[in-house]
């Protein structure tokens, strides 16, 4: 599943093209679940911030946040997450922060610049409470 989402995110460089594609499916190794509902979702990855539709499997005992974790994404909230960060992004930030002293603010600004061409307006919602 992690590879599936990673390849989808790397193949699509614009938010609109990602949004026009099929939704991402969690909880069943990337396969659609007949008992799932469409959720608008923001995925933050090392190549930018993506707004897309996702489906969480509703016939598994795993919560949405658990399904995200199993697929390699850290949910922004535990209950009813609407945003998640890839483990790749978080590890990249950890290394930049530790080795190059890149601040969280500057890292978010860089991500926003990567997404600016995608017409994404999320920098304040990512950094401010
Ligand atoms: Zn299911």
Residue 31 placed within a domain: yes
Residue 129 placed within a domain: no
In the prediction, which pLDDT does 123 show? 47
Contact (CB, 8 A) for 27 and 35 = no
Ligand 1 centroid, distance to 82 Cα (angstroms): 19
Residue 79 placed within a domain: yes
Q: In this structure, what token pair is assigned to residue 86?
A: 């890839």
**CA dist 74 → 17, 32, 104, 109, 112 (Å):** 23, 21, 16, 20, 19
User: What φ, ψ does residue 93 adopt, rounded to 5°?
Assistant: -65, -40
DSSP 90: H
Ligand 1 centroid, distance to 62 Cα (angstroms): 10
**Successive 10-residue mean pLDDT values, the chain, 129 residues:** 44 41 82 87 89 91 93 94 95 96 90 66 53
Ligand 1 centroid, distance to 77 Cα (angstroms): 21
In the prediction, which pLDDT does 108 show? 86
How far apart are the C-alpha atoms of 91 and 51, rounded to whole Å?
21
Domain holding 114, by residue range, is 2-124
Residue 69 placed within a domain: yes
End-to-end CA separation in angstroms for the chain:
31
In the prediction, which pLDDT does 37 show? 82
Tell me how crowded residue 122 is: count the other CB atoms within 10 A of its CB.
Answer: 16
Ligand 1 centroid, distance to 89 Cα (angstroms): 27
Residue 58 placed within a domain: yes
The domain tally of the chain equals 1
In the prediction, which pLDDT does 112 show? 81
Ligand 1 centroid, distance to 53 Cα (angstroms): 16
In the prediction, which pLDDT does 12 show? 36
């Amino acid at each position: 599943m992690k590879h599936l989402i990673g390849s989808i995110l790397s193949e699509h460089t614009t938010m609109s093209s990602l949004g026009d594609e099929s939704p991402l499916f969690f909880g069943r190794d990337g396969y659609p679940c007949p008992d799932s509902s469409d959720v608008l979702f923001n995925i933050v990855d090392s190549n930018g911030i993506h707004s897309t539709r996702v489906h969480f499997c509703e016939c598994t005992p795993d919560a949405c946040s658990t399904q995200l974790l199993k697929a390699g994404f850290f949910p922004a909230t535990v209950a009813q997450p609407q945003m998640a960060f890839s483990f790749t992004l978080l590890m990249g930030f950890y290394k930049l922060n530790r080795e190059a002293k890149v601040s969280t603010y500057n890292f978010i600004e860089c991500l926003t610049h990567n997404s600016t061409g995608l017409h994404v307006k999320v920098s304040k919602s990512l950094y401010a409470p």
